[in-house]
Structure 1
Amino acid sequence: MIRNLDWLQQAACAGLDHRAFFATSRHARAQVNAARRVCAACPVREQCATWAIQTGERWGVWGGMSQQELRRRRRRFTSRAKTSTRAAA
């Protein structure tokens, strides 16, 4: 699990209003797409996505992924973790 959060300082979204990454209006798709554009050029995109998956973040755009994409990736991550645990036992 990612414990060191130094990568946050290098994020393209550092200093931006965090609300831009949490779609709340009837224009949610446009908000998500705008957030993804910020993430597209981010040097720590993968660390962000990994952190969101490992910590169970459920809301917002993380690592350029929508909430639905995060859930799908989390299910794959959780499924692999369970398989690894069973194999080790």
Structure 2
Amino acid sequence: MIPNLDWLADAACAGMDSRAFFATGHHARAQVNAARRVCKTCPVQPHCRDWAIQTGEYWGVWGGMSQLELRRKRRRFTSSARTGTRAAA
């Protein structure tokens, strides 16, 4: 099944260099904060975040969430999927 990614066209980051969302080096925290500022203005932020969690994106800022935040959220998502319960967002 091919996922519906139509929301990508409406993303605030559409057309931006994707490297802006994958922080590296000594200025990683500043890069993450800059990426989050873009995400904050994005009309499809929830779609992006949910897609990243469900597909297991491991690196980068997605839907305004850092790598660490995504991993934590993913653990809750996969844990609730295994038990059949829904974790609080």
TM-score, normalized by length of structure 2?
0.91
Q: Which residue of structure 2 aligns with residue 69 of structure 1?
A: 69
Unaligned runs of 5+ in 1: none
Identity %: 76
Q: Which residue of structure 2 aligns with residue 9 of structure 1?
A: 9
Q: Which residue of structure 1 aligns with residue 81 of structure 2?
A: 81
- In the alignment, structure 1 residue 22 sits paired with structure 2 residue 18: no
Q: Which residue of structure 2 aligns with residue 53 of structure 1?
A: 53
Query: Which amino acid in 1 is paired with 2:84?
Result: S
Query: Which amino acid in 1 is paired with 2:16?
Result: L
* Larger RCO (alpha carbons 8 Å, 6+ apart): 1
Structure 1 runs of 4+ aligned residues shifted over 3 Å read none
Residue-pair matches, total:
84
| Alpha-carbon shift at residue 24 of structure 1 (Å) | 1.1
Larger Rg computed on CA atoms: 1
* CA-atom RMSD in angstroms: 1.4
Unaligned runs of 5+ in 2: none
| Alpha-carbon shift at residue 66 of structure 1 (Å) | 0.1
